[in-house]
């Protein structure tokens, strides 16, 4: 057998099959179905793994430019100082063991007509179905004076990695007594409770190291996710350190920034800041825009049962980039959408109907090392497919016991370990 | 006329029920929603969230009904009595952080599917440190007070009690704390054994039991 190369082996076996008159499906149907997954974040990784697991004959390829992924979840704990950034950094080494190919390159365009994904490196990948989970792009120009360059001075830290480390280092080096401003955007945006958890994590750092400092959340909105619980937590743990300013009180939040004078301005007032975390409005990532997957809203409309694009056939869009009406743009949501999408892709490629979907969300926010809160939901597709309908769930109760708050932190850490095991394991 | 009308209603409702069940999500589709928190294949990577695979089917159903219906025992009795699959389900109210909210999203039929799915996946012991001396003391306590219901050192699922061996230590601690504070209801037999364990080993009893279960790898 060792001297028999693959071709002569195939020749020998097919000869045997020809004489015995049996069919040999692997040879008769040599061309396997191909799925190309754009993006190696929560949605892309979980979709790829579940497609490969669902039908091992499907060739699954992930296109992702970065060699490592920094999770957005728990990046606020890095900013607050309780977690080292190395613990949110993951590699793609295990993909091969699931039979998934990784093309380390940036997908620039998906040609829906030709069923091809083009990359910046000049590679063309053909697909039978494409799963697009590219995340967000930031609309820097929505805030006057803000840009990718300005974000090197006033970080957004809304795509984890370097930007996370930058905000952390600014908080470490700022003087005691300075003002930190967080500017959350209008809805919809990635991780709705994220800015408010970040405020708590920054206050956690300030309280220990720069107790005379102050944190101002100058919001574009008039209300926000888990608001009652956050406001209660801020007061319980940080007293008067954190102040939240509603959009209505400023004409809609931060409108312009000046990185030279370190000032941020609303329609009514101006603030001299030590550190500014400017989180601009968002839309689906560039590749989704360029490939005609987004509508006028900047996000991608999809069939909510299969996540197939409403703009282009055989392309599915999941995660933050999609309009998953009824669900928040959370990491957990991206993962659950990925599983629904994967099951649909496998069934559709096998010529079957897509299965009935079930979805969930579980989202923890850490206000302090022993103070966690959460929102959870279980969903099903509405009968007319117009929304993903919440069947049950809800928020941590107000005034929960200290013990319950502490347990939620440990469950949040478990969530992190289990989510990242689903992605990178 | 009335009978004709009720017949139509009856037929309609039968149609509704059958079409709902035909279109319901599969066990694996439902189970996939649990894994983000409970880990790939329901085997938790810890540090606190429990592994849910390899538990007894009846135990999982009992737990989920307790989360879903809280202390509404009449409602649960009604459900159990109406379904012969559930006749051996034991029901004890239990407190939780998120599961009471999550359980609202699943029907009893879906809970049954989930329970069967996770019961069929083998349990895997958590890799965690344990204090050998305390584990030894805990082993003796377990043998005297717990083994009768939690068989094979707490590793059996066939006894339809919770699998304790190899479960994450913080979760075991939360659970025992809840039993001792009254936040979680105990079967009568267990209450008696817990009291005796406290009497024989004092404040260390719970700690030693936890270390015994955590030590099984």
For B24-50, what is each residue's pLDDT tens digit? 999 999 999 999 999 999 999 999 999
Average pLDDT value for chain B: 91
What pLDDT sits at residue A30? 52
Mean pLDDT of B176-194: 95
pLDDT for A346 beyond 80: yes
**How many CB atoms neighbour CB B28 within 10 A?**
16
Paired with A59 in beta bridges are A34
Closest residue to B49, CB basis, from A379, A403, A411: A411
Residue A232 burial (C-beta neighbours within 10 Å; 0-12, 13-18, 19+): middle
Answer whether B104 sits within 8 Å of A392, measured CB to CB: yes
Closest residue to B33, CB basis, from A378, A407, A414: A378
Beta strands in A312-403 (DSSP E): 315-317, 322-323, 358-368, 371-381, 388-395
Per DSSP bridges, beta strands A129-132 and A315-317 are parallel
**How many CB atoms neighbour CB B47 within 10 A?**
17
Please report residues of B whose CB lies closer than 8 A to that of A391.
104-106
A305 Cβ neighbours under 8 A, 6+ residues apart? A340, A344, A354, A356, A357, A381, A385
Q: Rounded distance, CA A155 to CA A149, Å? A: 9
> Which tokens in the block code for residue B198?
């406290």
Chain A: nearest CA to B42, how far in angstroms?
9
Hey, what's the torsion of the CAs at A326, A329, A332, A338, to 10 degrees?
80
What pLDDT sits at residue B23? 76
Answer whether A421 sits within 8 Å of B45, measured CB to CB: yes
Chain A: nearest CA to B86, how far in angstroms?
23
Single out the residue of A105, A98, A43, A68 nearest to residue A341, CA to CA.
A43
Please report residues of A whose CB lies closer than 8 A to that of B44.
414, 417-418
Single out the residue of A22, A24, A29 nearest to residue A10, CA to CA.
A24
Please report residues of B whose CB lies closer than 8 A to that of A358.
25, 29-30, 32-33
Paired with B95 in beta bridges are none
Mean pLDDT of A348-360: 98
Q: Rounded distance, CA B117 to CA B44, Å? A: 16
Answer whether A378 sits within 8 Å of B104, measured CB to CB: yes
Per DSSP bridges, beta strands A388-395 and A214-218 are unpaired
pLDDT for A20 beyond 50: no
Torsion sign across C-alpha atoms B132, B137, B143, B149: negative
pLDDT for A23 beyond 50: no
Mean pLDDT of A22-47: 79
Instruction: Please write down the long-range contacts of A150-156, taking CB distance under 8 Å and 24 or more positions apart.
Output: A150/A257, A150/A259, A150/A278, A151/A278, A153/A259, A153/A262, A154/A257, A154/A259, A154/A264, A154/A273, A154/A276, A154/A277, A154/A278, A155/A277, A155/A278, A156/A277, A156/A278, A156/A279, A156/A280
pLDDT for A14 beyond 90: no
Please report residues of B whose CB lies closer than 8 A to that of A413.
47-48
> Residue A175 carries which DSSP code?
P
Percentage of chain B lying above the pLDDT 90 cut: 88
**A390 touching B (Cβ < 8 Å):** yes
Per DSSP bridges, beta strands A371-381 and A358-368 are antiparallel
pLDDT bin (cut points 50, 70, 90) of residue B18 is: very low
Please report residues of B whose CB lies closer than 8 A to that of A407.
48, 97, 174
Torsion sign across C-alpha atoms B39, B44, B46, B52: positive
Answer whether B97 sits within 8 Å of A396, measured CB to CB: yes
Supply the ipTM of this predicted assembly.
0.91
Interface test with A, best of B32, B40, B110, B181 (most A CBs within 10 A): B32
Contact (Cβ atoms closer than 8 angstroms) between residue A380 and residue A345: no
pLDDT digits 0-9 by tens, B82-115: 999 999 999 999 999 999 999 999 999 999 999 9
pLDDT bin (cut points 50, 70, 90) of residue B8 is: low
Q: Which residue has the higher pLDDT, A282 or B22?
A: A282
What pLDDT sits at residue B203? 87
Cα end-to-end distance, chain A, whole Å: 35
Average pLDDT value for chain A: 94
Mean pLDDT of A104-133: 98
- What is the DSSP code string of A196-228? HHHHHHHHHHHHHH-TT-EEEEE-SSS--TTHH
pLDDT bin (cut points 50, 70, 90) of residue A46 is: very high
pLDDT digits 0-9 by tens, A193-224: 999 999 999 999 999 999 999 999 999 999 99
pLDDT digits 0-9 by tens, A297-335: 999 999 999 999 999 999 999 999 999 999 999 999 999
Q: What is the pTM of this model?
A: 0.92
> Which tokens in the block code for residue B6?
């009720």
Please report residues of A whose CB lies closer than 8 A to that of B96.
none
Cα end-to-end distance, chain B, whole Å: 69
What's chain A's Rg over C-alpha atoms? 24
What pLDDT sits at residue A407? 98
Closest residue to A360, CB basis, from B33, B40, B45: B33
Percentage of chain A lying above the pLDDT 70 cut: 93
Scan residues 122-141 of B and list those with Cβ closer than 8 Å to A. none
């Amino acid at each position: 057998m060792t001297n028999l190369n693959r071709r002569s082996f195939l020749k020998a076996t097919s000869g045997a099959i020809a004489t015995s008159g049996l069919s040999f499906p692997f040879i008769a149907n040599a061309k396997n179905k191909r799925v190309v997954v754009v993006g190696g974040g929560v949605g892309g990784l979980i979709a790829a793994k579940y497609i490969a697991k669902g039908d091992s004959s499907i060739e699954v390829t992930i296109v992702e430019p970065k060699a490592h992924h920094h999770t957005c979840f728990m990046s606020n704990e890095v900013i607050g100082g309780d977690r080292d950034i190395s613990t949110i950094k993951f590699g793609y080494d295990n993909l091969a063991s699931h039979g998934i190919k990784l093309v380390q390159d940036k997908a620039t365009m998906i040609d829906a007509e030709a069923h091809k994904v083009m990359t910046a490196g000049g590679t063309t990948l053909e697909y039978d179905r494409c799963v697009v989970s590219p995340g967000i792009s930031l609309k820097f120009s929505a805030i006057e004076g803000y840009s990718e360059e300005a974000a090197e001075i006033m970080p957004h830290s809304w795509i984890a990695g370097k930007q996370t480390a930058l905000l952390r280092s600014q908080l470490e080096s700022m003087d005691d007594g300075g003002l930190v401003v967080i500017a959350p955007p209008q809805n919809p945006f990635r991780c709705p409770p994220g800015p408010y958890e970040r405020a708590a994590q920054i206050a956690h750092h300030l309280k220990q190291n720069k107790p005379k400092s102050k944190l101002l959340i100058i919001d574009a909105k008039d209300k926000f996710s888990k608001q009652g619980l956050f406001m209660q937590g801020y007061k319980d743990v940080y007293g008067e350190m954190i102040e939240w300013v509603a959009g209505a009180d400023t004409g809609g939040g931060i409108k312009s920034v000046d990185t030279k004078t370190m000032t941020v301005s609303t329609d009514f007032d101006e603030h001299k800041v030590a550190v500014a975390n400017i989180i601009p409005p968002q839309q689906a990532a560039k590749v989704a825009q360029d490939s005609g997957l987004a509508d006028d809203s900047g996000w991608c409309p999809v069939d909510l049962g299969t996540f197939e694009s409403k703009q282009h056939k055989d392309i599915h869009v999941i995660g933050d980039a999609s309009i998953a009406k009824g669900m928040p743009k959370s990491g957990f949501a991206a993962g659950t959408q990925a599983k629904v999408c994967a099951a649909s892709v496998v069934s559709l490629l096998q010529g079957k109907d897509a299965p009935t979907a079930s979805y969930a969300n579980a989202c923890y926010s850490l206000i302090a090392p022993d103070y966690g809160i959460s929102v959870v939901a279980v969903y099903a597709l509405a009968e007319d497919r117009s929304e993903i309908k919440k069947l049950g769930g809800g928020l941590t109760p107000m005034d929960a016991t200290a013990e319950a708050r502490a347990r939620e932190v440990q469950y949040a850490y478990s969530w992190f370990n289990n989510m990242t095991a689903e992605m990178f394991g | 006329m009335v009978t004709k009308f009720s017949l139509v209603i009856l037929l309609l409702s039968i149609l509704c029920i059958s079409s709902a069940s035909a279109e319901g999500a599969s066990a694996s589709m439902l189970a996939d929603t649990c894994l983000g928190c409970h880990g790939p294949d329901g085997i938790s990577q810890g540090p606190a969230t429990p592994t849910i695979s390899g538990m007894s089917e009846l135990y999982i159903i009992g737990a989920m009904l307790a989360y879903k219906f809280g202390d509404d025992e009449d409602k649960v009795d009604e459900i159990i009595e109406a379904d012969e699959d559930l006749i051996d389900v034991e029901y004890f109210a239990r407190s939780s952080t998120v599961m009471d909210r999550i359980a609202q999203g699943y029907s009893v039929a879906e809970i049954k599917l989930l329970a069967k799915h996770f019961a069929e996946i083998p349990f895997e012991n958590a890799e965690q440190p344990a204090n050998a001396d305390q584990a030894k003391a805990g082993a003796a306590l377990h043998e005297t007070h717990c083994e009768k219901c939690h068989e094979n050192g707490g590793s059996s699922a066939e006894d339809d009690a919770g699998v304790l061996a190899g479960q994450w230590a913080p979760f075991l601690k939360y659970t025992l704390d809840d039993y001792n504070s009254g936040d979680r209801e105990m079967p009568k037999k267990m209450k008696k054994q817990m009291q005796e364990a406290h009497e024989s080993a004092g404040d260390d009893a719970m700690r030693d039991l936890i270390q015994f279960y955590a030590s099984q790898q």
